[in-house]
């Protein structure tokens, strides 16, 4: 059925408005980060990113934190959510509530709560910023739980797990070979959200006095705004690329609709 | 078909106040296909899941090949199962699904043997050309066939079919039902088939067990179950029946002017309700007859008529399709019985 001209104009207008709304700040950032002086253009700010040892240190720290958080997500959060979904359905509500708590508690309150623990940690064990991974693993819970839960409800994983069990699969094989690949899209979106959150987190790391990516950007921004904006844009592009690389459910070749007649 | 392959001895399971199984005892012989039939909530699926190891029991014992497996984990039981819901692993192709069980420790074989076996099984279920297809590229019937091949790949001790046809449309259901029977006879696997569809159960099984409230009411070959029910529930649940009042005296009942033998389990004296199959009622056009045809439907191979008897009882009779043109609404008819025995329940 052909759409009328009016309908097409309306649809394209909406698309244009939304795209402009999202793209304008990015274009403005690109414009600002490539400015040298008042009238010249150049890549000075972009080239300077890697000549700032503190910034590189902050990036490495944040990437290490992201890696730890991903590991915690894959080996702790995902199995827990799947296990509760499959075996302990009565705990679904309490788990959801616990997972949503970090969303309801402001960052500053969280910092006040955990600052004593971090003080004790820095005195008695380590001052490594990687200990922030514990707080970050908590911060990602509301988003990761939602995306995992939606993926689990979208497929009858219960039957799939039982089918695998009857074929001889152990619990761990059922989990890692059947259930997790089935909810891969949910796991991947949880991963991307987690990475974005860790790379973008500022409040907690700054208040706890750790030098992470965002803290370093802020510090650089106080001296040279163009470098700070270039780094911010680069991190944004990095997360966007991650989103684009996310595998979809129809990863395996073309989406055939060649259902034969019985 | 000789030795006993499966024994369920007095198995019981309750879910809160609901007794899903209340002491079910069942034996399945080697190579036999037994269907468990019953209304929703009668415990048939719970029994099947208990045999698969997916359901713990409160009481009872399960023996397979003489070995007690009551407390054995599902992944060590070697049961092949086809579920009601489509259960193919969505991230694997048809061939990978069939091969999955053969990669696992319990049934591990070499990659070459695995490929050979999966190809043979896909051929057996008529899907050799779909080996590389993913579940979302297959129809429901095709998915269930692959699920059957996957279950058979591990050479199961018992094949468990949990209403595998109920999600399919009528035509595919009949096709696949016949295919399941063909494959089961070809492979010779002992099979337990759970269904609520009596036509499916009667059409596929060597023996059919009718369940109610967690216990087996009767288990027999399909024809015996249909012709000689041992309880009113079985008579009424399997096939259609007409409740017709009659007087019982010893082992006969007097209904519609005929003396008919009563089946074991019937009431032995006084008034009772005979449960008569529509095809056991003969309806003939007769101007002096006291009964009248209300409606008559031509159903292709047979003609089904609804008839009002002189005492106001409304019955359904089934006759040859050629009678459809004779037995029109309002026609006066004579009604007689043509059955060796009927079940009579108390009023």
Each residue's pLDDT tens digit, A109-118: 888 888 888 8
Confidence at residue A245, expressed as pLDDT on a 0 to 100 scale: 74
* Residues B71 and B198 occupy one common structural domain: yes
CA-to-CA distance for A145 and A153, rounded, in angstroms? Answer: 12
Contact pairs from chain A to chain B, CB under 8 Å: 93
| Residue A234 β-bridge partners | none
Our CA-based measurement puts residue A237 at a distance from the nearest CA of chain B, in whole angstroms, of 30
CA-to-CA distance for B297 and B302, rounded, in angstroms? Answer: 9
Instruction: Parse chain A into domains and list their residue ranges.
Output: 62-224
Confidence of residue B2 (pLDDT cuts 50, 70, 90): low
| Residue B210 placed within a domain | yes
* Residues B254 and B318 occupy one common structural domain: yes
Q: Which of B227, B262, B280 is the last residue of a domain?
A: B227
Check CB contact under 8 Å for A156 and B85: yes
Pairing state between β B341-346 and B332-337? unpaired
Confidence at residue A257, expressed as pLDDT on a 0 to 100 scale: 33
Confidence at residue A258, expressed as pLDDT on a 0 to 100 scale: 34
Helix H, strand E, coil C: the string for A34-77 is CEECCCEECCHHHHHHHHCHHHHHHHHHHHHHHHHHHHHHHHHH
Confidence at residue A232, expressed as pLDDT on a 0 to 100 scale: 86
Alpha-helical runs (H) found in B188-324: 198-204, 222-227, 232-237
Q: What is the ipTM of this complex?
A: 0.86
Confidence at residue B252, expressed as pLDDT on a 0 to 100 scale: 92
Using the predicted structure, report yes or no on whether residue B329 has a pLDDT greater than 70. yes
Q: Domain of B252: which CATH number?
A: 2.40.50.100
Our CA-based measurement puts residue A181 at a distance from the nearest CA of chain B, in whole angstroms, of 7
Check CB contact under 8 Å for A163 and B89: yes
Q: Which of A168, A257, A259 sits opposite B75 (nearest CB)?
A: A168
* Residues B167 and B255 occupy one common structural domain: no
CA-closest candidate to residue A209, choices A87, A92, A122, A101 = A122
* Contacts of residue B195, Cβ cutoff 8 Å, sequence gap at least 6: B35, B36, B37, B44, B163, B165, B166, B201
Check CB contact under 8 Å for B154 and A168: yes
* Residues B71 and B160 occupy one common structural domain: yes
Q: What average pLDDT does range B108-128 have in this prediction? A: 91
Residue in chain B closest to A173 (alpha carbons) equals B104
* Contacts of residue B29, Cβ cutoff 8 Å, sequence gap at least 6: B1, B2, B3, B4, B5, B190
| Residue B64 placed within a domain | yes
* Residues B149 and B100 occupy one common structural domain: yes
Confidence of residue A260 (pLDDT cuts 50, 70, 90): very low
Q: Domain of B115: which CATH number?
A: 3.40.50.300
Confidence of residue A67 (pLDDT cuts 50, 70, 90): very high
Least confident of A48-52, B121-125, B145-149, B294-298: A48-52
Q: Which of B206, B227, B248 is the last residue of a domain?
A: B227
What domain range includes position B300? 240-346
Q: How many domains does chain B have?
A: 2
Dihedral in degrees, nearest 10, Cα atoms B185, B187, B188, B191: -90
Confidence at residue B277, expressed as pLDDT on a 0 to 100 scale: 93
3-state SS assignment for residue A98: helix
Chain A neighbors of B87, CB-CB under 8 A = 156, 159-160, 162-163
> A62-224 belongs to which CATH class?
mainly alpha
Residue in chain B closest to A87 (alpha carbons) equals B54
| Residue B162 placed within a domain | yes
Confidence of residue A1 (pLDDT cuts 50, 70, 90): low
Confidence at residue A249, expressed as pLDDT on a 0 to 100 scale: 43
Contact B63, B69 (CB under 8 A): yes
Q: Does the CB of B107 have a partner CB in chain A at under 8 Å?
A: yes
CA-to-CA distance for B148 and B145, rounded, in angstroms? Answer: 5
Using the predicted structure, report yes or no on whether residue A45 has a pLDDT greater than 90. no
Q: What confidence tens digit (pLDDT) does each residue in A182-206 have?
A: 998 899 889 888 888 898 888 888 8
User: What is the overall mean pLDDT for chain B?
Assistant: 92
CA-closest candidate to residue B33, choices B161, B156, B176, B153 = B161
* Residues B212 and B294 occupy one common structural domain: no
Check CB contact under 8 Å for B75 and A170: yes
Question: Which of the 8 DSSP states describes residue B300?
Answer: S
Least confident of A111-125, B155-169, B292-306: A111-125
Q: Which of B107, B139, B160 sits opposite A168 (nearest CB)?
A: B107
Using the predicted structure, report yes or no on whether residue A241 has a pLDDT greater than 90. no
| Residue B235 placed within a domain | no
End-to-end CA distance of chain B: 41
* Residues B153 and B283 occupy one common structural domain: no
Contact B77, B101 (CB under 8 A): no
| Residue B253 placed within a domain | yes
Q: Which of B179, B201, B227 is the last residue of a domain?
A: B227
Q: What average pLDDT does range A161-181 have in this prediction? A: 93
Confidence at residue A246, expressed as pLDDT on a 0 to 100 scale: 64
Q: In what order do the strands lie in the sheet with B281-285?
A: B281-285, B332-337, B291-298, B302-308, B314-320
Check CB contact under 8 Å for A178 and B89: yes
Q: Does the CB of B167 have a partner CB in chain A at under 8 Å?
A: no
């Amino acid at each position: 059925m052909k759409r009328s001209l009016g309908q097409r104009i309306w649809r394209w207008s909406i698309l244009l408005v939304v795209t402009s709304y999202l793209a304008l700040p990015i274009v403005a950032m690109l414009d600002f980060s490539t400015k040298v002086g008042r009238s010249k253009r150049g890549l000075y700010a972009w080239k300077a990113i890697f000549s700032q040892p503190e910034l590189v240190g902050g990036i490495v720290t944040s990437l290490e934190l992201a890696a730890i958080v991903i590991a915690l997500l894959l080996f702790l959060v995902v199995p827990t959510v799947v296990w509760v979904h499959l075996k302990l359905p009565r705990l679904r509500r309490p788990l959801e509530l616990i997972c949503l708590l970090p969303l309801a508690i402001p960052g500053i309150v969280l910092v006040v709560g955990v600052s004593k623990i971090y003080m004790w940690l820095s005195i008695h064990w380590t001052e490594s910023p990687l200990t922030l991974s514990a707080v970050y693993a908590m911060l990602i819970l509301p988003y990761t739980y939602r995306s995992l839960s939606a993926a689990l409800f979208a497929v009858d994983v219960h039957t799939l797990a039982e089918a695998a069990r009857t074929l001889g699969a152990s619990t761990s094989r059922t989990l890692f070979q059947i259930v997790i690949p089935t909810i891969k899209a949910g796991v991947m979106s949880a991963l991307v959200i987690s990475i974005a959150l860790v790379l973008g987190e500022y409040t907690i790391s700054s208040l706890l006095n750790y030098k992470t990516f965002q803290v370093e950007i802020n510090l650089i921004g106080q001296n040279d705004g163009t470098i700070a904006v270039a780094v911010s844009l680069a991190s944004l592009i990095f997360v966007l690329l991650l989103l684009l690389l996310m595998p979809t459910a129809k990863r395996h070749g073309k989406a055939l609709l060649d259902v034969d007649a019985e | 078909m000789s030795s006993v392959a499966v024994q369920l001895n007095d198995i019981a399971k309750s879910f809160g106040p609901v007794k899903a199984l209340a002491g079910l005892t069942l034996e399945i012989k080697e190579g036999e296909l037994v269907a468990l039939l019953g209304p929703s909530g009668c415990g048939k699926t719970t029994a099947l899941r208990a045999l698969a190891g997916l359901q713990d029991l409160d009481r009872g014992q399960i023996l397979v090949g003489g070995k007690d497996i009551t407390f054995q984990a599902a992944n060590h039981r070697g049961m092949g199962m086809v579920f009601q819901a489509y259960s193919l692993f969505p991230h694997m192709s048809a061939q990978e699904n069939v091969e999955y069980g053969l990669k696992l420790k319990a049934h591990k074989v070499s990659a070459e043997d695995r490929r050979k076996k999966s190809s043979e099984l896909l051929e057996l279920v008529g899907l050799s050309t779909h080996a590389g297809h993913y579940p979302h590229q297959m129809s429901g019937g095709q998915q269930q066939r692959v699920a059957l091949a996957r279950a058979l790949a591990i050479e199961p001790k018992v094949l468990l079919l949990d209403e595998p046809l109920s999600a399919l449309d009528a035509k595919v259901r009949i096709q696949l039902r016949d295919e399941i029977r063909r494959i089961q006879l070809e492979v010779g696997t002992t099979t337990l088939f759970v269904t609520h569809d009596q036509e499916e159960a009667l059409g596929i099984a060597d023996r059919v067990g009718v369940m109610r409230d967690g216990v087996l009411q009767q288990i027999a070959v399909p024809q015996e179950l249909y012709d000689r029910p041992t309880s009113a529930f079985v008579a009424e649940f399997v096939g259609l029946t007409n409740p017709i009042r009659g007087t019982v005296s010893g082992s006969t009942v007097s209904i519609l002017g005929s003396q008919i033998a009563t089946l074991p389990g019937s009431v032995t004296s006084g008034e009772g309700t005979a449960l008569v199959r529509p095809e056991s009622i003969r309806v003939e056009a007769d101007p002096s007859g006291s009964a009248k045809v209300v409606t008559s439907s031509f159903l292709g191979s047979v003609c089904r008529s609804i008839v009002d008897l002189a005492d106001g009882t409304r019955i359904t009779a089934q006759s040859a399709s050629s009678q459809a043109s004779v037995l029109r609404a309002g026609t006066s008819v004579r009604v007689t019985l043509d059955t060796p025995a009927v079940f009579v329940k108390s009023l």
